[in-house]
Structures are given as structure tokens and as C-alpha cells.
Amino acid sequence: MIDLKETVLGFELGSTRIKAVLIERAHRPIASGDYEWENQLVNGVWTYSMEEIHAGVESCYAALKADVKEKLGMELTTVGAIGVSAMMHGYLPFDQDGRPLAAFRTWRNTITGQAAEELTALFGFNIPQRWSIAHLYQAILNGEPHVKNIAYLTTLAGYIHWKLTGEKAVGIGEASGMFPIDSEKLDYDETMAQKFKTLTGIDLLAILPKVLVAGESGGVLTEEGARFIDPSGTLQAGIPVAPCEGDAGTGMVATDSVRVRTGNVSAGTSDFAMIVTDRPLGVHREIDMVTTPAGLPVAMVHCNNCTSDINAWVNLFSEFAETLGVPIDRGELFTKLFRKALEGDADCGGLLSYNYFSGEGVTDLDEGRPVFLRKPDSRFTLGNFMRAHLLSALATLKLGLDILTQTEQVPIDKLYGHGGFFKTPEVGQRMLSAAVGAPVSVMETAGEGGPYGMALLAAYMLWKAPGEALEDYLDQKVFAGARASTVMAEPEDIRGFQAFLAQYKRALPLEKLATEVL
């Protein structure tokens, strides 16, 4: 039996899974629950329905309750604090009565190219297509009638936080994916907001969520919020709620990468690298400037596509195994196929893959078509096939990181990896290390990922000492004794990735052509 008030709960609504993690005072996970889902392409827009958002949160929490009952023999009636995270960016507009005005537009959409380009020029600051402000301005450019009725514009994390607490607020890292942040004032950039008002007549500061910094109170769980999570009535209201954050921020926290010159790579449905910087950078279309949950500036290289194509091929191999009458567990199949990639040639034997399920901002493509290519004399082996898909998942990330390291001279001494790409020991680390030419570490808690990072932010709000910085709390109280595995690619692996990438860049016009003819 444990004191439930000495635990904290972290939620994350990710691209393919909603997950909840309960941790205790020593910051170790003790129970979890999840719910699998997938985005849908509806009328040309990548979205999740509001009904499934609600059902997913409820089902995830129910699974967590059952896990607590099984492992601890207790009813989950309360916790010390709650935190909610979700995939960043996107567009969720509401009217003054709290009614949604448009279907949720996720980060995956590449339908705001004109808006992103014009706002980048207006602000002198890179505005990617997936940012909330790009979606809003594109809706204005499109003449969408709902715009005039917007009273509140938020993200998925901001929406769930609002449902739980009644507070229209988000953490600063999440806010930095909606609109540019002034890292000195720890709030939206007022000069840019005024430029937008002059351009459109819309006062953004009146419709965007309030910005909160890690450690501040995000409100408390209301009776309505408790029923939203737990319709059974078991969960009690009044629980403190941390400022909600995006998956980029929780990834930084989960890997102890919130201090200047630290960095991490999250690799799942999408992949992105986050490098905490000590200075402003130039404007690059391939690099976002966001913040840590404490407000420090972060250079972010975000790629829309990572493991979706790998997952599709694994599903095909799984179907093949079932057809032969030897079905294999998908987790075991992933492990075997990932390990097979280590047997492939360093340059993948001339095989080439483009993993674009959707458009990709780094390579300036508004749509995607998964493409696999080989020459007649390529070495078409299973090892090379898998290695080509793993390297393809990192190729666009490498293109963005090259701008950071070569153009901006931002050093990368070491990266921490987390997400499904790193689940098989060593393989994903070795491939990423070959891409960046630096060691890659994975912590033992990396499998918990974003919900664990969100739980740590809730713990920081609840248990920090007066004046204790987030980076100090994580270094000294969470990760001081943490175990991690570190892998450095061999020189041959690095040369092989460079050869693969050179071919990848030469053949990139084929991917563009595929979007035009298919």
C-alpha cells in the first residue's frame, strides 16, 4: 500500500497512442495504461474526431485504474498532481460558448504553405506549416467563415487541460509551437502579435491560451474534469494540475535535456531533434525556434515522417508469417527485423527508400508517397532492405541537423534518444549515431517517453524546493543515478550513412514526381 498523494500522474496524447503513467516519490513508474488510435485523412485534413479524443482519454485512464488495482491492490481515487501532454501544434478553434468551430487539424497537415511563407516574411522568424498561427492565417486567407467567431484558439494539450481545470492556459513549450515566444518575458512576442493584428485585425493575445512556466500552478481538477477522465465517479476533484506541455517539451524532460547544449531526438510516427541553445539563430525554414518548459530557447528540427513506413512493412511481414502458418508476436518481429538491419551493408547496398506518408517541410514537399527504389545491381537482401528503411527514417532529420551544425555552428556533443525507434537495444542508437557522428544514449526510462516526462513536470510543480530550477531538479533528484546505454557508430557506419544520404538527395526529385503522378 502506498500513499496516493505521494504519486503523480502524467498523460500524453501521442500520434498512435494515448498513455498514462503513474510515478511515485522516487520518480519511478509504478503503473500505466494506454489506448491505441490513428489519425484519419478526412476531406484532405489529417484529424482525430472529438468523440475519439474523449473516448481515448477515458479508456486510457480506465486501463491505468485497472493496472493500479492489479499491481497495488488499491482504488485510484486521487494523486498528488496531474499533468497532460499531447502532440504539439495544430488547430482547435472554439466560439464563445466553447463549441468547436472546425475539425481538429493536426501537426501532420501540410496545407498552410502560403500562410507559413507570408508570416515568416512578416515576422522575420520561421513559422512552420504545422504551427497554430499558420493554420489560423491560412483559414483567413481561405476565407473560412468560422474565423470571425473564434473566441479561443488552442492545441490538443490545451483543450484537455481546459476540460480538466476550466483554465485556458498552456505551458510555455507548448505555447512556443502556437506563436513565437519572447524568452526574456516568458510570454508571446508582443511585437509580432501587434504585426499580426495590423495585418488581420485579430488580437491574438485575446484568443490564445495564457502562457505558464514549468513549476507554476495550472489550476486544479474540477468535478467536471474528474468525470471527464473517470465517469465512474471514483476520482476525486481538487487535485493540482501542472501546466500542460507538448510532446517536444516532455521528451526533453524525459531525457534530462533541458540544460543549454543538451539535446535529444524523439523518433516515432514523426521524429524531431531538440538542441537547447545559448543564443538566437538565423531564420531557416528547416529549423523551428521553440522553448524548454522553463522557457529557454530551443532549436528544433521536426520531420513529419519517421516510422509509419517501417510499421507498414512490418505489418506486411507479419501477414506473410501468418500465411505460412507461423504467426509471430509483432514486438518480437520488430526486434528481429531491426536487428537484421545490423547485418546490412553500411550504405544499404544501393537500396533507397522515401518514407513520406505525408508532406515534409524539410524537403519542401506538401504531399507524400512512400517509395522504395533499387537498381538492377543493388544488393537486395533483407538486411539492406531494413537498414535502408531505418536510415530513410533519419534522412530528413539529418538534413536539418546539418544546418544547425554546419551553418549555425551549434555543437552536438551527445544526444539522448527516446521513442519507438529506439526500443530495440543498440539498433536505432547506432543508426542515429551514424547520422550525426556523435554518441547516442538511451535511458532506462526512455520507453516511458512523453507521459513520463509530463509526470516529472507535475512532480516538479509539487515537490520542488523554493527557487529550484527545473534542470537542477532533474539532474539531482530524478536522473542522478539513472542508468543509460551509450552507442557510438563505427567510422564505416558514418561513411555508409553519408553515401546513402548523397544518393537520397540526388534521387529526391523522384519523390516529388511521385506526388504529381500518383
SS (H, E, C) 430-495: HHHHHHHCCCEEEECCHHHHHHHHHHHHHHHHHHCCCCCCHHHHHHHHHCCCCCEEEECCCHHHHH
pLDDT of residue 47: 96
Q: Give residue 199's identity as a one-letter amino acid code.
A: L
| Adjacent-strand bridge partners of 136 | none
Q: Of 205, 173, 195, which Cα lies nearest the Cα of 119?
A: 195
Strand pairing of 415-418 and 440-443? parallel
Model pLDDT, residue 376: 97
Q: Are 379 and 349 in contact (CB under 8 A)?
A: yes
Mean pLDDT of 501-515: 96
Q: Stretch 83-112: mean pLDDT, rounded?
A: 95
CB 390 within 8 A of CB 275: no
Q: How confident is the model at residue 512 (pLDDT cuts 50, 70, 90)?
A: very high
The pair phi, psi for residue 178, each rounded to 5°, is -100, -45
Q: How far is CA 422 from CA 13, 248, 317, 443, in A?
A: 20, 16, 20, 10
- Give φ, ψ of 496 to 5 degrees: -65, -40
Model confidence, pTM: 0.84
Instruction: Supply the pLDDT for residue 430.
Output: 96
Report pLDDT for 267.
87
Domains along the chain? Answer: 4-243 (3.30.420.40)
Tell me the β-bridge partners of 289. Answer: 299
The pLDDT tens digits of the residues spanning 318-347 come to: 999 999 999 999 999 999 999 999 999 999
Q: Give the pLDDT score at 448.
A: 62
pLDDT band at 279 (very low <50, low <70, confident <90, very high): confident
Q: How far is CA 123 from CA 129, 283, 285, 378, in A?
A: 14, 10, 13, 47
pLDDT single digits (tens) 280-322: 788 988 888 999 999 999 998 989 899 999 999 999 999 999 9
Say which residue, 15 or 431, is predicted with more confidence: 431
- Grid cell locating 391: 536510415
202-235 residue pLDDT tens: 999 999 999 999 999 999 999 999 999 999 999 9
**What percentage of the chain exceeds 70 in pLDDT?**
99
Q: Which residues pair with 240 in a beta bridge?
A: 220
Q: How confident is the model at residue 55 (pLDDT cuts 50, 70, 90)?
A: very high
- Taken in order 69, 74, 76, 77, is the CA torsion positive or negative? positive
**15-24, 274-283, 465-474, 492-501: range with lowest mean pLDDT:** 274-283
Distance, in Å, from the CA atom of 333 to the CA atom of 330, rounded to the nearest integer, reads: 5
Q: Which three cell numbers stand for residue 18?
A: 494515448
Q: What is the mean pLDDT of residues 350-370?
A: 93
Average pLDDT estimate for 356-385: 94
Q: Is the pLDDT reported for residue 447 higher than 80?
A: no
Residue 277: pLDDT band with limits 50, 70, 90 = confident
Pairwise CA distance, residues 256 & 450, whole Å? 12
Residue 401 and residue 309: Cα distance in Å, rounded? 22
With residue 320 as reference, give the H or E element that holds it: helix 308-323
Average pLDDT score, the chain: 94
| Confidence (pLDDT) at 203 | 97
Provide φ and ψ at 288, rounded to 5°.
-90, 145
Q: Residue 200 and residue 140: Cα distance in Å, rounded?
A: 8
Per-residue pLDDT at 101: 98
What is the pLDDT, as a whole number, of residue 133?
98
Q: Band the pLDDT of 482: cuts 50, 70, 90.
A: confident
What is residue 450's predicted lDDT score, i.e. its pLDDT? 86
Residues 57, 300, 100, CA angle at the centre, nearest 5°?
35
Q: Average pLDDT for residues 407-420, to the nearest whole number?
A: 83
pLDDT recorded at residue 410: 84
Least confident of 49-63, 140-154, 176-190, 397-411: 397-411
Q: What is the pLDDT of residue 48?
A: 97
* Distance in angstroms (rounded) separating the CA atoms of residues 176 and 132: 10
Average pLDDT for residues 134-157, to the nearest whole number?
A: 98
Q: Which residues pair with 266 in a beta bridge?
A: 272, 418
CB 290 within 8 Å of CB 416 = no
CA distance 143 to 280: 35
Per 3-state DSSP, what percentage of the chain is helix, strand, and coil (rounded to 5)? 40, 20, 40
pLDDT band at 445 (very low <50, low <70, confident <90, very high): low
Three-state SS letters, 87-151: CCCCEEEECCCCCECCCCECCCCCCCHHHHHHHHHHHCCCCCCCCHHHHHHHHHHCCCHHHHHCC
Amino acid letter, 11: F
Closest alpha carbon to 228 in 241, 212, 216: 241
Helix axes 190-200, 113-123, angle to 10 degrees: 120
